[in-house]
Every structure is written in structure tokens, then in C-alpha cells.
Amino acid sequence: MDFRNIPPVKEQIMKCVRCGKCRSVCPVFAEIRNETAAPRGHVFMVQMLRDGVVEPNNEIYERLANCLMCETCSINCPSGIDIHELNAAARSYIYENNPSLGKELIFDTLWTKPGLLKTSTKLMWGAQKTGLQPLARRTGLTRLLPGDLGKAEQILSSVPARSARSQLKNKYKAQGEKKYTVGYFLGCGTDLLNPGVALATVDVLTRNGCEVIIPPETKCCGLPHIANGKLETARLLAIHNIKIFNMYDFDYIITDCASCSSALSRKNMEFLLGGLKIEDEAKLFADKVMDLTKFLIEIIDIKIPENGYNEKIKVTYHDPCHLANAQGIKSEPRELLKRIPGVTLIEMSDANRCCGGSGTYVLTHYDLSMKILDKKMDSIMETGAEKIATCCPSCIMQLKHGTKRHNYKSEVVHPIELISQAYNKPILKK
Ligand code: SF4
Ligand code: SF4
């Protein structure tokens, strides 16, 4: 698809009135006080790219790639410009003019084949266990990794031994009377980095009258590809997943990952597949997609059992950008936490500010990502919370790194893990 014909590029750029509202809310601009790092500057850059005033080269790509894709600018833009979409489309256009073998290996070969992705995660786990990873660090071998990967590999320092997929069946019956047939979209981050979240999701859904089917052919939701200039690969992944999930007669398609639910949303499907033959099939699919937190509140109206706690546990909640900004889901995760017996929710001062993880961003922009994370950790630590809850594997990974970095003794969890624990055993003993 020609970059110039993508709706945000074709129609929205001209609506920019240069008001600077986007700039005032951008977490990257707060760190790099330079117009080229600001969303307003990005809009202008994309316009110049579209009009052929600047060449689609790597220098422009790097400037656009400073953006976290957190969507804070887009939701604050009075002209309704999807600034992150403009940026993603431009990155893809530049990438197509400057392809890189490294990116093709990562995003086309590894990240489109779940088996290969799993094998590389296992290799990482093996390196930790055999002591090869610390050895590679001591000898400086990790400094040879591309971009900021050498610094960022410490983020991936606790890869679980077993994926969720290897511990789950493809189908689970509802406990008690069946109310819904649910397709569980098990994303790569939950599967490989947070398998406990997937087990908890299946546990809570089945306890609440859902038959859960986990299609084994599911592939990545495509969000890492969108952020890395691989729009065409993201389209192919979306088409694959639509075809797989549409083969079933699901009432809902549920995911516990904020990034996946935003990638599978109608808005993103329109961005990726609008005007293509598959558009109607994509809408059919996207209209069934719902984030787990919203499903448990709006559809299930979950009642979490009283286990007779007489102690309270302090939990604070961080809004993943792809849930709060991309989908407007803020109250549901909080409501879930409040419904867990024994939990006291303590708001941090800036729950809706990005943690700096943003999927692969921390791997490509480690130092900048850490500056943003440190601010987030300051507001988390002010709460004194014993647990930090959030709904995105990337945020979980980043905040775990933040707690280590600041030596803050607090566990980072997905709300569904606390709910599952409440069903199975008290969080705190009586
Ligand atoms: S907020 Fe919107 S209209 Fe204002 S400068 Fe940014 S992109 Fe332009
Ligand atoms: S998406 Fe986030 S990081 Fe990117 S320009 Fe907008 S506010 Fe800044």
C-alpha cells in the first residue's frame, strides 16, 4: 500500500494547527527538548517525507523512532490526528527504502514463527542457567550486540523455563454452566515471559462460565512490527490471525495483553487493512475482541470470593498506554483490583504516564527508556505499594527492571494473577 494513501498521511496532516498540545504531553519531548523529538515535529517531518522534500533515509527514521508509540499525543490532539499512525506509516515507508537484514531476521523470520521465537527464548533461559550470560557480560561480549541490545539484555534477565503454551491444552471446558465460548488470544509476551498470567487467565475464565479455546496456530499480534517499520509483515500477521480465529464460532476473543488487544482492535485493523479485500472479515474479527479486564467487569461482572482476609495488601496500578490511551480502558482494571478481597488500591501520581518500556523500545533506546522509567519508579515508590499491577507484558518486564534498578521490594503482577490467587488461596494468611 502506498504510504501517501494511508488515511492519516493522506487526510490528517493538513489538520495540524501547530498548537503544540501534543508536545506538552510527550514523555520523550520531556527528556529531549528538541522539536525533532516532539510529535509536532514528527507530523511536520512526515509531511515533508510525503511531499518529497526530505529523502526517506535512516537519519529521518532514527528521529521518528525516538517515539514510544504511547499515543499520548494522539489522544490529546485537538485536531484528532493519529500521530502515532502517521509515524508508523512513515517508518515503514523509510524501511522499505532502506531494508536491513538484521530486521528481516528478527521481524520476518523469528517473530512470525512462534516455534522459532520459543526456541530463542529457551536459548536465553539456557544461557542464564549455564552461566553463559554472566560470562558474556563479564567479557564484554554483549556489547557487540546491535543498537542498545547489549545494555538492554539485562531486562530479559528472568526468562521462565517453560512457556504458557507448553503448559496449556488447546481447549478448556467451562466450570459449571457454560455461558460463553471464548477464544483466548495468547500473545508472545504472555506466552514466553509471563506464563503465570496465561494460566491465571484460563483459570478465572473457566471458573466464570467460559469455555476457553486457545487456537494453536496463533501468531504475534504484529505490534512490534508496526513499531519497527514492518507494516507489511504486520498486515500478513493480522490476516493470518483473522483467518484462524474466524474459523471458530467465538462469542468473544479475549486477551490479557494490552498491546495485543490494541493491535487486534477495530481501529488498528482499519489502519492496517482498511480498503483491502479482507476488511469485512477483519471487522467481524475485531468486533469480538475485548481486553480481559473489560470482559470480566462488563460482561461477566465478576464476583471474587471472600477468603476472610483480615490484613490488607497495598497495590498500585500502572496504566499501559495501549490500554488507557489506545482503548480508553482505565476504570476496569482498577475496579477489578478493588473487587479483590484484601486489596487496597493506592493511586500513583502519574499512572497514565508511559513507563518507557513500549515493547522493543527499551531494547533499541535503553538510556532514554531508563530516564522515563526512573520517573515512573519515583511515583510508584511514593505509594509504598507492596504490589504493582499492570496489564501488559512489556510494562511488567520494564517495571520489574525498575524495581531491581531502584532496589524497591515490590512484586509486579497482572491483576488476573491476584484474582486467580484469591480463588485458589488467600493472598495473605489470616
Ligand atoms: S496537538 Fe495536533 S494540531 Fe496541535 S501541534 Fe500537535 S499534531 Fe498539530
Ligand atoms: S506517541 Fe508518545 S512518545 Fe510518541 S510522539 Fe506521541 S506522545 Fe511522544
What digits encode the pLDDT tens for the residues 180-224?
999 999 999 999 999 999 999 999 999 999 999 999 999 999 999
pLDDT at 199: 97
Q: Give the pTM.
A: 0.91
Residues 6+ apart with CB under 8 A from 133: 124, 127, 153, 157
What digits encode the pLDDT tens for the residues 370-429?
999 999 999 999 999 999 999 999 999 999 999 999 999 999 999 999 999 988 864 433
Residues 6+ apart with CB under 8 A from 291: 254, 255, 256, 258, 261, 323, 327, 329, 332, 391
Q: Is the distance from CB of 264 to CB of 139 less than 8 angstroms?
A: no
**Ligand 1 centroid to residue 42 C-alpha, Å:** 10
59-63 LR contacts (CB < 8 Å, sep 24+): 60/90, 60/94, 61/91, 61/94, 61/95, 61/98, 61/229, 63/36, 63/37
Maximum average pLDDT range among 136-140, 244-248, 365-369? 244-248
Round to whole Å and give the CA distance between 65 and 73.
15
Hey, where are the domains in the chain? 3-97, 313-424
Of 84-98, 154-168, 211-225, the least confident? 154-168
Query: Which amino acid is present at 231?
Result: L
Atom of ligand 1 nearest to the CA of 76: 1
Indicate which residue's Cα is closest to atom 4 of ligand 1: 19
For residue 301, how many C-alpha atoms fall within 13 Å in the half-sphere facing its CB? 1
Check if 89 has its Cβ closer than 6 Å to any atom of ligand 2.
Answer: no
Indicate which residue's Cα is closest to atom 6 of ligand 2: 73
Check if 81 has its Cβ closer than 6 Å to any atom of ligand 1.
Answer: yes
Region 70-79: what's the mean pLDDT? Answer: 97
Check if 321 has its Cβ closer than 6 Å to any atom of ligand 2.
Answer: no
CA dihedral of residues 134, 140, 146, 149 (deg, nearest 10): 40
Atom of ligand 2 nearest to the CA of 72: 7
Percent of the chain with pLDDT over 70: 88
Residues 6+ apart with CB under 8 A from 102: 146
pLDDT at 171: 97
- Which one-letter DSSP state was computed for residue 153? G
Is domain 313-424 classified as CATH 3.40.50.1860? yes
Round to whole Å and give the CA distance between 322 and 329.
9
Q: Which of 83, 84, 85, 87 to mutate to test the pocket of ligand 1 (most atoms within 8 A of CB)?
A: 83
Task: Give the confidence band of 137 by pLDDT, cuts at 50, 70, 90.
Answer: low
Q: Which of 32, 44, 68 to mutate to test the pocket of ligand 2 (most atoms within 8 A of CB)?
A: 68
Region 46-62: what's the mean pLDDT? Answer: 94
Region 326-344: what's the mean pLDDT? Answer: 96
Round to whole Å and give the CA distance between 130 and 221.
32
Indicate which residue's Cα is closest to atom 8 of ligand 2: 26
Round to whole Å and give the CA distance between 234 and 2.
15
Mean pLDDT of the chain: 89
Atom of ligand 2 nearest to the CA of 83: 6
Indicate which residue's Cα is closest to atom 4 of ligand 2: 67
Closest CA to 396 of 197, 119, 111: 197
What digits encode the pLDDT tens for the residues 267-312?
999 999 999 999 999 999 999 999 999 999 999 999 998 865 546 8
| Third-level CATH fold of 3-97 | Fumarate Reductase Iron-sulfur Protein; Chain B, domain 2 (1.10.1060)
Task: Give the confidence band of 141 by pLDDT, cuts at 50, 70, 90.
Answer: very low
Q: Residue 118 pLDDT more than 90?
A: no
**Ligand 1 centroid to residue 28 C-alpha, Å:** 16
Q: How many helices (H) and strands (E) does the chain have?
A: 25, 9
